[in-house]
Amino acid sequence: MTKLAVYPGSFDPITNGHLDLIQRGLRIFDTIIVAVAKNPAKQSLFTVEERLEMIRVAVGDKPRVKIDSFQGLLVDYVRSVNARIVLRGLRAVTDFEYEFQMNMMNRRLEPEIETVFLMTGLPWVFLSSSILKEAAVHGGNIEGMVPPYVFKQLKRKFGQE
Active site residue 80: no
Active site residue 155: no
Closest CA to 12 of 41, 57, 48: 48
Q: Which of 56, 66, 84, 91 is catalytic?
A: 91
Active site residue 18: yes
CB atoms within 10 A of CB 127: 21
CB atoms within 10 A of CB 1: 5
Q: Which of 44, 51, 129, 133 is catalytic?
A: 129
Residue type, 60: G
Distance CA 128, CA 39 (A): 18
Q: Which of 27, 42, 108, 138 is catalytic?
A: 42
CB atoms within 10 A of CB 81: 14
Active site residue 84: no
Active site amino acids: 18, 42, 91, 129
